[in-house]
Amino acid sequence: MNLLMCPVCRKALKLTDRTWRCESNHSYDIAKQGYVNLHVVQHKHSKNPGDTPESVQARRAFLSAGFYEPLQQAVVKKIQELRTENLLDIGCGEGYYTNAMQAEVMQCVGVDIAKNAVQVAAKLNKDVAWIVGTGATLPVLDESIDLCTSLFSPIPKEEILRVLKPNAYLMVVTPATEHLYAMREALFEEVKPHESHKFVEQLADSFELVEETVVDAPFVLAQQDLKNLIAMTPYAYKAKPERRQALEQLEQLELKAQFQIYVFKKK
């Protein structure tokens, strides 16, 4: 069953050869890397939105080394428990989590606004429908999705409500209170705990919180892994350059990642 929607006229897209086309004759070719660009120019606010190529490559290198595997496995376990047929991963990035999710469902769509991230993701797994698109207009049909996931990504609430089936699920992953605390202490003069619970309050009128879990992942980073971690986070451009440089000169650093997983059910 097709899940994709034309971002211009909002009608269903059908695949013929390597082109997605709607009945209004809007067409979108599958790129040679295996993704389709459904982020139309009228929805763009900048030429190259989303993560930079440097950030994408740093994230690919860091995640490939397995430091966040405890989170990946926890997310996969939750998907197994929910027994859903399809899922939409919002903000899929370079595909580390989406790739693992795909094995647990019949249909998997990964969407991200950063074209360079989706190009990297598309090389990972040909069974995922990789889409360049925006959360402001998710390129999937109304009430077609069993599970939406958003890992460290925006949560376009109204669009998620539109695409989810009745009583379907939303999984949100966000940094927990102690996430990378030692690194943030080194980068910033004042460190505020992450307020992960704010998502629960924002979603309370439309979603029921059915489960919440905290996942800890302690590790020791060598210098290059530490540089990759800094480069893939927003801290890279928020920290003062001299603090970042001092941190990057360390030969190793002991850290703990801490993740908050929320599972919501659409009311």
pLDDT in tens, 67-84: 999 999 999 999 999 999
- Model confidence at 238: pLDDT above 70: yes
Residue type, 88: L
9 is in an annotated binding site: yes
- Contact (CB, 8 A) for 110 and 121: yes
Q: Which residues are bridge partners to 221 per DSSP?
A: 253
Q: How confident is residue 42, by pLDDT bands cut at 50, 70 and 90?
A: low
Adjacent-strand bridge partners of 231: none
pLDDT one-digit tens code per residue, 125-163: 999 999 999 999 999 999 999 999 999 999 999 999 999
pLDDT for res 118: 97
227, two tokens: 């540089």
Q: Sketch out the chain's domains with CATH numbers.
A: 35-266 (3.40.50.150)
**Where does the pLDDT of residue 223 fall: very low under 50, low under 70, confident under 90, or very high at 90 and above?**
very high
The CA distance from 243 to 116, in Å, is 28
Q: Binding residue per annotation — 94?
A: yes
**6 among annotated binding-site residues:** yes
DSSP 82-142: HT-SEEEEET-TTSHHHHHHHTTSSEEEEEES-HHHHHHHTTT-TTSEEEE-BTTB-SB-T
Alpha helices in 32-156 (DSSP H): 53-64, 69-82, 96-102, 115-121
Better-scored residue on pLDDT, 126 or 51: 126
Closest C-alpha among 68, 112, 108 to residue 90: 112
Q: Is 179 annotated as a binding residue?
A: yes
pLDDT confidence tier of residue 237, bands split at 50, 70 and 90? confident
Total number of residues shown for the chain: 267
| pLDDT at residue 235, as a whole number | 86
Q: Which pLDDT does position 148 carry in this prediction? A: 98
Question: Do the annotations mark residue 34 as ligand-binding?
Answer: no
If you ran DSSP here, which 8-state letter would residue 170 be given?
A: E
Interior angle at CA 69, CA 64 and CA 75, nearest 5: 125
Mean pLDDT (whole number) for 210-235: 96
Predicted TM-score of the model (pTM): 0.94
pLDDT-based confidence at residue 46 (cuts at 50, 70, 90): low
Question: Given pLDDT bands bounded at 50, 70 and 90, which one contains residue 169?
Answer: very high
pLDDT value of residue 36: 98
Cα(102)–Cα(85) distance, integer angstroms:
10
Separation CA 217–CA 254 (nearest Å): 11
DSSP structure class, residue 78 = H
Known binding residue 26? Answer is: yes
